[in-house]
């Protein structure tokens, strides 16, 4: 089933949304640097299983609106977009599934708009609560003597210039960087040069099997349209997000929750000495389903499409009826 791409007004902006199927609403939220297309395997499968599926290009990406201001990409705004999408699609509630940056947006939508969310599933990025400080401050402490991409992304214009110089090469390197294949191959640049990110990343030849040349062409076409400013602005809202989430500090996260990750997920190793899955178990009262997929990396729904789809369907079918 090929999804129908529509433009939908929500929260004062217009998003492009891939739509398919009929039934209970499931919203799939992509991460950085991706698009609705990262869910290309799950959309038809979930639709065929009896769900109405909506996969937006989040603000700043692809075929939707791209506000310029950094603060436009705060967690509250991103979550209000999803709340408005639920309304625009004529639903009262939805199950929300998010990967990478889509996972915090998923969790945040359940916090800011609890009555609109039936359940949530996070891929790759666990729910850890608000934490003791903004993530950017934590990373400045942990990586004070080392290059760290999220710190490099903070200065407006710098990473944009690097990533937009050759978009297809940038994406090819970024996708391989966090993949299970790269980590299994132990492919590293031994002596990176230059102040940026891309000189530190291996250029794959060939591409991993889950990413075809046609897939890469599509992604590149989307970023030639959108650029990287909006996507990078999400990383520039750490302090603002921390302030906006203060009201939920210490409160239980009670929505029915699933967490899926690869055993080689780099996000789970970002904070040395912390078992993030166990920490999620402690802080997410509604966590009822956890699946870690062997030898998979960050791009989980693309690296392991059948496993992710099966896991999501198992979780969805176990939810209380509407």
Which positions are annotated as active-site residues?
100, 298
Phi-psi region of 44 (alpha: psi -120 to 50; beta: other; left: phi over 0): alpha
Q: At what angle do helices 167-177 and 158-165 cross, to 10 degrees?
A: 100
Q: Which residues contact 125 (CB under 8 A, 6 or more apart)?
A: 31, 98, 99, 100, 101, 103, 104, 267
Q: Which residues contact 194 (CB under 8 A, 6 or more apart)?
A: none
Question: Which stretches of the chain are DSSP H helices?
Answer: 42-48, 75-88, 102-112, 135-142, 149-152, 158-165, 167-177, 180-185, 213-226, 229-233, 238-244, 276-283, 300-303, 305-317
Using CA atoms in the order 174, 177, 178, 180, what is the torsion angle rounded to 10 degrees? Answer: 130
Cα 69 to the chain's mean position, in Å?
21
Write out the two tokens for 297.
């990396």
Is the CB of residue 13 less than 8 Å from the CB of residue 67?
yes
Find tokens 């909006």 and name the residue: 230
Strand 4-10, strand 13-20: pairing: antiparallel
């Amino acid at each position: 089933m090929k999804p129908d791409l529509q433009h939908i007004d929500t929260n004062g902006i217009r998003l492009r949304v891939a739509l398919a199927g009929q039934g209970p609403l499931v919203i799939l939220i992509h991460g950085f640097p991706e698009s609705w297309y990262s869910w290309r395997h799950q959309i038809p499968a979930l639709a065929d299983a009896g769900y109405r599926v909506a996969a937006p290009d989040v603000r700043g990406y692809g075929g939707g609106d791209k506000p310029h201001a950094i603060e436009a990409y705060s967690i509250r705004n991103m979550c209000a977009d999803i709340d408005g999408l639920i309304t625009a699609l004529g639903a009262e509630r939805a199950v929300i599934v998010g990967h990478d940056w889509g996972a915090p947006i998923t969790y945040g939508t359940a916090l800011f708009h609890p009555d609109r969310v039936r359940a949530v599933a996070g891929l790759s990025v666990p729910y850890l609560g608000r934490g003791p400080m903004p993530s950017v401050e934590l990373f400045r402490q942990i990586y004070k003597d080392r290059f760290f991409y999220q710190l490099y992304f903070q200065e407006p214009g710098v990473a944009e210039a690097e990533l937009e110089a050759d978009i297809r090469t940038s994406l090819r390197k970024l996708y391989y960087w966090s993949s299970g294949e790269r980590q299994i191959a132990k492919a590293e640049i031994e002596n990176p040069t230059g102040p940026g990110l891309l000189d530190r990343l291996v250029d794959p030849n060939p591409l991993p099997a889950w990413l075809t040349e046609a897939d890469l062409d599509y992604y590149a076409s989307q970023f030639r349209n959108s650029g990287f400013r909006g996507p990078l602005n999400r990383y520039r809202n750490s302090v603002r997000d921390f302030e906006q989430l203060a009201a939920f500090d210490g409160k239980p996260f009670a929505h029915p929750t699933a967490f899926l990750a690869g055993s080689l997920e780099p996000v789970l190793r970002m904070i040395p000495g912390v078992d993030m899955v166990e920490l999620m178990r402690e802080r997410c009262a509604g966590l009822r389903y956890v699946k870690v997929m062997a030898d998979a990396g960050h791009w989980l729904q693309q690296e392991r499409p059948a496993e992710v789809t099966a896991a999501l369907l198992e979780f969805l079918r176990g939810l209380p009826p509407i």
